[in-house]
Amino acid sequence: MDYIGDGEMPAPALIDTRLNGREASRILERILWNIRLMLDLHLVHGDLSAYNILYQDGEICIIDFPQMFDPRTNPNGLELLRRDAVRVCEHFERYGLSVDGEEFAAGLWKAYMG
- Please give the positions annotated as active site: 47, 64
Convert the chain into a string of H (helix), E (strand) and C (coil): CCCCECCCCECCEHHHCCCCHHHHHHHHHHHHHHHHHHHHCCCECCCCCCCCEEEECCEEEECCCCCCECCCCCCCHHHHHHHHHHHHHHHHHHHCCCCCHHHHHHHHHHHHHC
